[in-house]
Structure 1
């Protein structure tokens, strides 16, 4: 993965001001009555952090952010139990998060009208695509945080909405195909634009190798590491990739389910089946591709956790066959496809593009192909 200059956790205090500005702007629009449907907008912003996992829950998003903050503090203090480094090991978790949340705020301010009939729309898309990756590629400067937030909020949502609402029904594939495909296309456009923005720093100066981390030889590739890595993959789509963030995410959505089983997972009532499929996909993917983890600093084993596995559960009603097939096939196909696409991208395009492209392709191939089989 491409990282920023240092792996030391960045304070990023100044990077939070664009987020504060976005919140003030939203509050002003609410105060003046420019946003008549305030509740759906605020709910999407609050739950955006958990949307990539198919949870659609405010508590899940808040849990992820709380766990991510804990992991950031543990990493900043050099604690033994800090877990996997967040923000691709760059130390830029705070400015990355500021840009991601700014992108979501802009997304809702610009494209919230698409929810006028109460329909769900993937306005969370900037949170896990262009906005954070611009910061990860070009650093934590104020202009970079703003650039990521604006590009993510303006470019990505309409493409994901078009994919989910128009293209996917026409093709007969799950909406996640359109959402992630829109993210990939939006990122290609955004990073092409970044080439011509004079205020962004020159990329070669930012493509340094991360500082070496203290080795953990005893459990590097043993059972404990496998379980930790599988757990961390639950929050990798948000560029957290931390066990603590994942624990907060899962705990939040479980609490939401216990309070009202009809709320999480878009009212499907299939949260237990989704969690089962995701856990199985995470463990199988890490187990299958453990050698790749030993050879590389990162391998996209998280891809089926937020695409094929939950999409298969929703498509086929959470049957046992849909849980096992979605997890196993997604774990087998998704990570190597993502790695292959990412390795062929231009140097100034963040490799996450390969990950979301693989999510779209793998889901479009696997989920419809299962329909004629028994148990689906």
Structure 2
């Protein structure tokens, strides 16, 4: 009998042709696009000049709030968040009408997108209301509730005017201060990437929040699904580019390629108007985006058979953790971009899956994903630090 969560086929069973073989041409095309992004965008960036784009900036409260919508991807610009939300709503409406062009069913086919967004925005607003003062001198992780406890609670406990506000309050009261403590008391003194503190705040607050929900009489969970619905017994060649795109918005619990395209379109618009706007003014957007594309392509390709077997697999984990953290830590070299992509794609998703299958049924699987982000980033940054210290990066 196979253990729960095992990826091994039963003894004597005939293995199907690996999806890695069938999807190899698609992988090469996706990697070519990722390489082109890393080669072409820096050339264009040199020709672009900074300017006033006319939308809310990081200096304003509204700009910081809207920037927080894509802080999980390290973009932190208003147009990216707005583009993501607009096309996420479009994908939700398309799914309700059963349109074939809806892409991967948003929010795992739950139909809960309006409640997911409402709870996430409520938690984000509360986070800013309670912890705005921490951002007066430096960056702080006020975005954390938008991609952690509030949407996760809704996906476990369902729709409702009691569930969504409860989820928002739990996120604003628990997630942000724990992330603040992890970033400022651990990451900053030790010189660790801030993402380690961000995701530590997410999984630690989620453990507390879901334990508290068990004691709240109005929080009665339905049978929660594990991840998304089945993708089918066989992936077409188009599955790989679509899936790698969808992974860009898994952090927001959307997992839809249209939402991701809206986010990326807004990101490139903000970058074209002001190259210093995205990625905290580092100028590293071309390398960071290239690293994320390589990571998503390699992760989805390498774990395609596990996607088919389990119906959902956490390949997005390194896309929003190790890949961007490596670029921000070690720079825009190709060794950094490709090294972070390979390490993240191989390590992050299986570790997340191993944690997810051991969680209680009423604890959302995202806990395993963000816990894996903590470990994957620490291990990956440590491994890449060895050649960096030797002057090889």
1:156 to 156, 160, 175: 175
Give structure 2 stretches of 5+ with no counterpart.
1-57
- Partner of residue 85, structure 1: 105
- Partner of residue 72, structure 1: 92
Q: Is the 8 A contact 2:307 2:313 kept in 1?
A: yes
TM-superposed CA distance for 1:69, in Å, is 1.1
Render the CA deviation track for 1:50-75: whole Å, top value 9, x for unaligned: 11100011111111111101111111
- Partner of residue 59, structure 1: 79
Q: Distance in 2 between matches of 1:112 and 1:211?
A: 35
TM-score (norm 1): 0.85
Partner-residue secondary structure (3-state), 1:206 = coil
Q: Is the 8 A contact 2:109 2:229 kept in 1?
A: no
- Partner of residue 121, structure 1: 140
Partner-residue secondary structure (3-state), 1:346 = coil
- Partner of residue 271, structure 1: 285
Partner-residue secondary structure (3-state), 1:318 = coil
The answer to whether 1:197 aligns with 2:216 is: yes
The answer to whether 1:309 aligns with 2:328 is: no
- Partner of residue 26, structure 1: none
TM-score (norm 2): 0.82
Equivalence map 1:1-376=2 (5 Å):
40-117=60-137, 119-201=138-220, 203=221, 205-207=222-224, 220-373=234-387, 374-376=391-393
Measured at CA, do residues 80 and 108 of structure 1 come closer, stay the same or move farther in structure 2, by a change above 3 Å?
A: same
Q: Distance in 1 between matches of 2:179 and 2:304?
A: 32
Q: Is the 8 A contact 2:80 2:263 kept in 1?
A: yes
Q: Distance in 1 between matches of 2:292 and 2:96?
A: 30
Measured at CA, do residues 208 and 334 of structure 1 come closer, stay the same or move farther in structure 2, by a change above 3 Å?
A: closer
Query: Is the deviation greater in 306-315 or in 71-80?
Result: 71-80
Partner-residue secondary structure (3-state), 1:370 = helix
Measured at CA, do residues 260 and 208 of structure 1 come closer, stay the same or move farther in structure 2, by a change above 3 Å?
A: closer
Q: Is the 8 A contact 1:319 1:375 kept in 2?
A: no
- Partner of residue 14, structure 1: none
Q: Distance in 1 between matches of 2:236 and 2:142?
A: 39
CA RMSD across the alignment? 1.8
Q: Is the 8 A contact 1:106 1:149 kept in 2?
A: yes
TM-superposed CA distance for 1:81, in Å, is 0.5
TM-superposed CA distance for 1:207, in Å, is 3.0
Q: Is the 8 A contact 2:351 2:372 kept in 1?
A: yes
Q: Is the 8 A contact 2:213 2:219 kept in 1?
A: yes
TM-superposed CA distance for 1:210, in Å, is 10
TM-superposed CA distance for 1:216, in Å, is 6.7
Q: Is the 8 A contact 1:99 1:148 kept in 2?
A: yes
Q: Distance in 2 between matches of 1:369 and 1:174?
A: 14
TM-superposed CA distance for 1:163, in Å, is 1.3
TM-superposed CA distance for 1:211, in Å, is 11
Q: Distance in 2 between matches of 1:133 and 1:124?
A: 15
Q: Is the 8 A contact 2:250 2:316 kept in 1?
A: yes
- Partner of residue 32, structure 1: none
Q: Is the 8 A contact 2:228 2:312 kept in 1?
A: no
Measured at CA, do residues 196 and 71 of structure 1 come closer, stay the same or move farther in structure 2, by a change above 3 Å?
A: same
Q: Is the 8 A contact 1:322 1:375 kept in 2?
A: no
Measured at CA, do residues 127 and 265 of structure 1 come closer, stay the same or move farther in structure 2, by a change above 3 Å?
A: same
